[in-house]
Structure formats: C-alpha cells, structure tokens
Structure 1
Amino acid sequence: MSLHTPLCDVLGVEYPIVQAPIGSATCPALAAAVANAGGLGTLAVTWRDGPDARSAIRETRELTDAPIGVNIVLDERAKSIGTDTHLDACLTEGVDVVSFSFGEAASYVDRVHDAGAIVTETVGSAAEARAAAETGVDIVVAQGWEAGGHVQSEVATMALVPRVADAVPVPVIAAGGIADGRGIAAAFALGADGVWLGTRFLASEEANVHDAYRTRVAETDENETRYTELFDKGWPEMAHRVVRNETVERWEDADRPAPGQRPGETDVVAEGEEAEPIERYDEALATPDVTGDIEAMALFAGQSAGLTNVTRPAGEIVAELATEAAARIETLTEPLDT
C-alpha cells in the first residue's frame, strides 16, 4: 500500500516523513539524502550566520532537486543572530519549507508565504496549535515530551497529537518517541498526517556527529534518557532530553544542586572548532571536530533511542520506515479473526 497523506501533497514529497532539525547534527549530506529518498530533509540554521546558512542551503541544493526545509529557533536566549538575518538567507536561497520553533511564527508567516514557501510551527499544546493555525501557519508540529534535544511540551506524544489534530484544520506532524514503522502507524491512528524523527536520523551515517556520540545513542535504552534543564550554558532555562551520562550522574548524586553549585561547574570537558572550550553543562553538540571527553557532554537523544540501535545511510532509513509503516497499517486494517 502507498504511504500517502495530505501532508505529502502540501510538502511535495513522496512520504510523510520529516527529518527533524537536530541542531549541528544536520548538514547538507543528511538533508539531501532524506529528500532524495522521498522524505523532507531539514537544515537547522539558528546557530549559523547568514553566509553560512546560505552556503549550507546551496550545498544541499547541489545534492538534491527535491523539496528541503530549514528550521529557525525564535527564542532569543538560544542565539546571537537575529531571526530576520536567518530568514533573509533562507528565503533568498529559495527554501521550500521554513519551520519555526520555540516561539510564535505569526510575525513571519506572510513574509514566508510571499516568497512562495510553506510555514510550519512546532507546538506543545492544543491551544498553541490553534493560535498558530489562526495566523496562517500551513502545518503544525506536535512535539511530545519523549523527544530528544530541546523540548517544548510536558505532554506525551500519545496524548498531545489527538488534541492538536482535533484543534486545527491544517496537517499535523507528530514528533517525539517515533523511530520505526510501528510508531508512524500509531501517529496516523492518533490523527497525525506525518512524522518528525530526530533521534533515528541522529544515528544515520550522514549525521554530523562524533562517532562516540552516535555509538552512545545506538547503545542507549528507552529508560536511559533524562528530561532536564541541566545543560543550560548557551540556552538557559530550556528543558531538553539527553542520555544519562557521567555529568548527569554526578549532578544527581549531589542531590541536583542549582546552577552555580553543581559538581565541576567550570570544568572544560572538550574543545570544539578552533579549540573553543566546551564546559560541563554546555549545550554544545558533539560534532566530528570536537575533541576531549565526549561522554561528559550533552548527549541529546529521545526515548526512541531504545529503537535506534543500528546505524544506516539516511536514505535506507527513510525507505525502511515507509515500508514498515505501510506493512503495519495493512496488517491493522485486516479483519480480526472471530
């Protein structure tokens, strides 16, 4: 059976599968591989300056003719570059989809539409979804608290998605805890028109992550992540989900002290590009150029890490997800034995 929903028509893709904008782990190779396989590949541009964002989009365009998306975080605490700079770069390069998260997209909807692109907004409640749709957002992403990385909701995906689907007349994408075809089928049953996967693509061969980080995610069980605000240097007071590692364990063993009193608060545990120091509790992501104690860093991952135990090319992941989901849906539609 075909895995086709209204979201496919809106996005112009074969499958309603979106690779989440997993911060610095996104790169042209990953986004293009997903796009070429029939999904929507997405670049995270929030932590890139304008020229770098344009360069990444152009490089992705050289690798695929399929639609691609970009994500822009609106929370000013998370960045030093203004949203207008990012949006100018993205629209100038002709991206197909602009997703906004951690803030309201209302001020930018008309501008994106005027450029011929589609707008999505990530939400954590039915009320947020309703407000987004009323401003003209084309698609809403309902992100449950199972998700990895920075998280917008305290509601589980299973409870959140049907609430959002009932609240808005636009397509809904389910995010959080989805990593295989069974999860996709479940998301459709809840009322979603598509799925948004981050942790599964974090373990892809193309993801721009350190091998130690990729391996750790693949080895992590569903009960080994923590929803916390611990890694707050760079984005204060924002909840996120990470793998329970040495840093988390030391903090928990110290009875979870407040910032300023945490164990090893000023430790430099690693170095990034150009020997930039990365302190314990920094929200920096472990990319391939990072050296030092990778295990001590913020290892962002969702509860679906327990289903993410094999590293494969991103295109193969998309094909496998689509095949598994279609097979599961076909099985569920068969008459029950009486």
Structure 2
Amino acid sequence: MWLTEKFGLSVPVVGAPMANVSGGRLVAAISVAGGLGMLGAGSAVTADWIRTEGSIAAASGKPYGIGLMAWSVRERPEHLEAVLELKPALVSLSFGDYTPYVEPLQKAGIVVATQAGTVADAREAVDAGVDVIVARGAEAGGHGRNAVATLPLLQAILELTELPVLAGGGISGPRGVAAVLAAGAAGAWIGTAFLTCQEALTSEPVRRRVIAADETDTVYGTVFDAASRAGWPDEFGGRALRNAYFDTWQGREDELKTDDAGHTDYVEGTRAADPARASIYAGQGVGSLTGQPTAAEVLDGFATYRTYLQAALSDGAK
C-alpha cells in the first residue's frame, strides 16, 4: 500500500491537519503510534509557531506532515518558508491556488498533497503535479466543499487518476478504514476521531461538547468565517457543530462580515471556549466520540480494520 510503504507506517491513517487541535504533541503521538500525524498551521499562527510545533513533531524521529491553506500562504509566505526549513515528509496545500508552491516543496524532497472536494478539483490537482490527492467528502469536519459525499467522490477520483488517493470524511473507526481501503484508497485521512485525544490542543469545554454530540449535530456553512474575518474564501465553507451563534447568523453572512458586535461576540466566545458562540469544527463521525483517549489508543482501534477486510473477503465462508 502506497501510504504505509512511503512513510513506513503500521496503520494506513493520516491525522488530518486541524488548526487549534493538532499541535506538535498530537502530531508526534499519532506518528509514534504508527500513523502519520499532521500539524494544523492555521492562518493566524506565526512562522515561529510552525517552527516550534514542527520541531516537537520532528523530535519523535518519525515522519510527520504539515497542512497549509493556499489562500493564507499567499498572504503569509513566511509560513511556507518555515515549512521548507522543517522539511516534513508530507505537506498538504489546499483551498486556493496552490500551484506555485508544488514545485518548491517537491524540490525540497517533500511529498505534496491537496484536498479535492469534486472531480474537477482532482483534475486540477493532477494538472498541478501533486503527489497524492485527498478525496475529501462533504461529511468531513473543518473546511472544504459540501458538494459530494466521500464514497462517490473517492470512486470517481480513483477512476480519474493513477495517483495515490486518500479518503477523508466520515471515517470514524476501523470499519470506515476497511471500507475505503476496499474501494481502492491508499489510506484514510482522519481528523474528527482525534479531536478529544489527550494530546490535542482542544480546550476542556470544547471536549465536553464534542463528546456530547451525535452524528446529526453538525452543520455546514460560512457563518463562522464571516464572524472570524480570517480571510477564508466563501467558496470553502466549514462543517462544525451547530450552536446558537450559527443559528442566529445563518442566512445573514454578508451582514455579519461588517457587523462589529457580531464579530466581537464570536471573538470573545472563542477566547472563552464557549460552545454556544465558538466554532467547533467536526465531521459527521463526531457521534462516535465517547471519551478522551490517547492518540495511540485511537490508532490501535483503527489498526483492527484488517478484521473487517478479511471478513468481507471471506464472503462468509468458514
């Protein structure tokens, strides 16, 4: 399998890069446990933050990755410079025009991935010369498209290209990993399952809200981006837990972009980690989270995917 062979993994799982969740400690824990951890470098962090957290991730001696947003790198080129200094094994660049950054990263010996939410996205990725495509379905938490579910998207992209394809969105346990591997994916791209890990940056109030959520509690939209004014293109909304703030402003996103009181309320809610006002990005697999495991425990669970693959291959034969 491409993913495990390329990076020397024992479990074909990439810990998706999540801003404010996957810092160096979680990244290292995922990589040490046999997956590939990825640092979530949000637009608001400094280049020094990337260097510091990347060094923590690298200290494990295991391969790791870093996720960047193309629209943010355009405004903060120092983010890319910090990544090139660190030389992680994998860099994911998505959401915006990432084409200028593919060659410099590859020349540094870094594997380049991008997240695709449609077949058209995947065609652009092939043309841009990336090394691996992430088929990111609408079920996934965080930012991306809400256009196509994971399974139809994965199948279509696999038909399109010979490049390795990872599947992301709604993969909450070993059954999901087995399903996408059986379909032909090179591995699973998983974020939500790591949200409440002990090594994650997730605050305690957010952890409690995530654990209490079920699979119907997520919503998709641009409310939180309008509130944050971080610079996210409207083309890419985000899937997060529904809360009072979202319900108040849904359908009024353009108004919110210039409403200072609404912006302040969101910022204060984020600082206070108030689940009623802050954005808590999570995918539809959130209902499977019931506690605060270590990353190693999560990876151990995913590693049992072989049981389900073998059962499917046996076709019930004894």
State the TM-score, normalized to the length of structure 2.
0.90
- 8 Å CA contact 1:227, 1:240 repeated in 2: yes
2:104 counterpart residue number: 111
2:34 counterpart residue number: 38
Counterparts of 1:41 and 1:261, CA distance in 2? 35
2:247 counterpart residue number: 249
- 8 Å CA contact 1:269, 1:293 repeated in 2: no
Give CA deviations for 1:303-335 in whole Å, capped at 9, x if unaligned. 111122222001110111112x11111111113
Select which of 175, 185, 192 maps to 2:178. Answer: 185
- 8 Å CA contact 2:21, 2:202 repeated in 1: yes
Identity percentage of aligned residues:
31
SS at match of 1:75: helix
Counterparts of 2:94 and 2:15, CA distance in 1? 15
Counterparts of 2:237 and 2:120, CA distance in 1? 20
Q: Partner letter of residue 127 of structure 1?
A: A
Q: Per-residue deviation at 1:236?
A: 5.3
Counterparts of 1:328 and 1:67, CA distance in 2? 27
Give CA deviations for 1:65-94 in whole Å, capped at 9, x if unaligned. 110100110124xx7842x32221112122
Select which of 163, 173, 198 maps to 2:166. Answer: 173
Counterparts of 2:64 and 2:179, CA distance in 1? 25
Listed as ranges, the gaps of 5+ residues in structure 2 are none
Residues 265, 300 of structure 1: alpha-carbon distance in 2 compared, 3 angstrom cutoff: farther
> Quick check: 1:24 aligned with 2:23?
no
Listed as ranges, the gaps of 5+ residues in structure 1 are 271-277, 281-285
Counterparts of 1:236 and 1:166, CA distance in 2? 29
Counterparts of 1:336 and 1:155, CA distance in 2? 32
Q: Per-residue deviation at 1:21?
A: 0.6
- 8 Å CA contact 1:6, 1:171 repeated in 2: yes
> Quick check: 1:336 aligned with 2:316?
yes
CA RMSD between the two structures: 2.2
1:60 counterpart residue number: 57
Give CA deviations for 1:150-191 in whole Å, capped at 9, x if unaligned. 123411111100001111111101011111001111111332
Q: Partner letter of residue 53 of structure 1?
A: I
Give CA deviations for 1:43-73 in whole Å, capped at 9, x if unaligned. 02243222221111112222x1110100110
- 8 Å CA contact 2:243, 2:275 repeated in 1: no
Instruction: After TM superposition, list the pairs within 5 Å mapping 1:126-165 onto structure 2.
Output: 126-165=119-158
- 8 Å CA contact 2:240, 2:283 repeated in 1: yes
1:273 counterpart residue number: none
Q: Partner letter of residue 47 of structure 2?
A: G
Counterparts of 2:168 and 2:302, CA distance in 1? 15
Residues 185, 279 of structure 1: alpha-carbon distance in 2 compared, 3 angstrom cutoff: same
> Quick check: 1:304 aligned with 2:296?
no
Q: Per-residue deviation at 1:120?
A: 0.6
SS at match of 1:18: strand
Residues 337, 40 of structure 1: alpha-carbon distance in 2 compared, 3 angstrom cutoff: closer
Q: Per-residue deviation at 1:102?
A: 0.5
Give CA deviations for 1:239-265 in whole Å, capped at 9, x if unaligned. 11111112133346xxx4343279x97
Select which of 39, 48, 51 maps to 2:48. Answer: 51
Q: Partner letter of residue 188 of structure 2?
A: V
Instruction: After TM superposition, list the pairs within 5 Å mapping 1:173-322 onto structure 2.
Output: 173-231=166-224, 232=226, 233=228, 234=230, 235=232, 237=234, 238-251=236-249, 256-260=251-255, 266-267=261-262, 268-269=264-265, 278=267, 290-291=271-272, 293-322=274-303
Give CA deviations for 1:252-309 in whole Å, capped at 9, x if unaligned. 6xxx4343279x9715447xxxxxxx157xxxxx5xxx32634321111111111222
Q: Partner letter of residue 110 of structure 1?
A: E
SS at match of 2:53: helix
Counterparts of 1:304 and 1:135, CA distance in 2? 31
Q: Write 1 or 2 for the structure with the bigger share of helix.
A: 2
Counterparts of 1:192 and 1:301, CA distance in 2? 22
Q: Per-residue deviation at 1:336?
A: 3.0
Counterparts of 1:297 and 1:13, CA distance in 2? 35
Counterparts of 1:250 and 1:152, CA distance in 2? 22
State the TM-score, normalized to the length of structure 1.
0.85
- 8 Å CA contact 1:144, 1:157 repeated in 2: yes
